[in-house]
Amino acid sequence: METKLNGSMKDKATEQERFTLMQWVRDGALEKEFTHLKPQKIIEAKCQMCHNEGASGIPDFTKFENIKELAKQDEGATFSSLTRVSHIHLFGISFIFMFVGLIFSFSTTASTFYKSVAISMPYAFLIVDILSWWLTKLSPMFASLIMVAGVGMGASFAFMWVVSKKLQFYK
């Protein structure tokens, strides 16, 4: 609901009315507060002219249950979808890194130690990336770790690719 109030429905209510509705949603969207405070009056005056029983394709705001359903907080990906996506990323991206690492292993510009570090870095960042998805599900403070891991994966991949590509020009 908050996304719509700040998006496509922004011009349908005043800033104060939108704030009142968003505050009600953030406070738990309780029915008691809905009927005794301003949210019900705002929705009846500003929303129900379009969001009613006769409207097709858009939610009906004449029943509290429908409004309550739209006021639920988005809790992100479910554990089952995180499991599925984690497996797909782990195996799919690992194969990409395996092939790039194999090509990079033939480079003559670095010692075996540095090659080993460069080849293992994207895997380490991949594990941190997927782990950070799960940690973010538990606490939003880990969301920035997703970006750090993504940048690390991209940088290590780019490094191996550029060094491998550079060798092609010199041979």
Please choose, from the candidates 146, 101, 102, the residue with its C-alpha nearest in 3D space to the C-alpha of residue 126: 146
Cα distances (angstroms) measured from residue 140 to each of 75, 132, 135: 11, 10, 8
Q: What is the pLDDT of residue 77?
A: 81
- Whether pTM > 0.75 for this model: the answer is no
Q: What is the pLDDT of residue 86?
A: 92
Q: How far does CA 74 lie from the centroid of its chain?
A: 11
Distance CA 169, CA 161 (A): 13
Please choose, from the candidates 38, 34, 41, 44, the residue with its C-alpha nearest in 3D space to the C-alpha of residue 65: 34
How many CB atoms within 10 Å of residue 34? 19
Torsion angle defined by CA atoms of residues 53, 44, 65 and 1, in that order, rounded to the nearest 10 degrees: 100
Q: What is the pLDDT of residue 126?
A: 95
Distance CA 42, CA 154 (A): 48
Distance CA 6, CA 152 (A): 33
Q: What is the pLDDT along the chain (171 residues), one digit of tens a residue?
A: 778 888 888 888 888 888 888 888 888 877 878 877 788 888 888 888 888 888 777 888 888 888 888 777 777 788 889 999 999 999 999 999 999 899 888 877 778 888 899 999 999 999 999 999 999 988 889 999 999 999 999 999 888 888 776 655 555
Q: What is the pLDDT of residue 160?
A: 86
Q: What is the pLDDT of residue 170?
A: 52
Domain ranges within the chain, ordered by starting residue: 2-70, 79-170
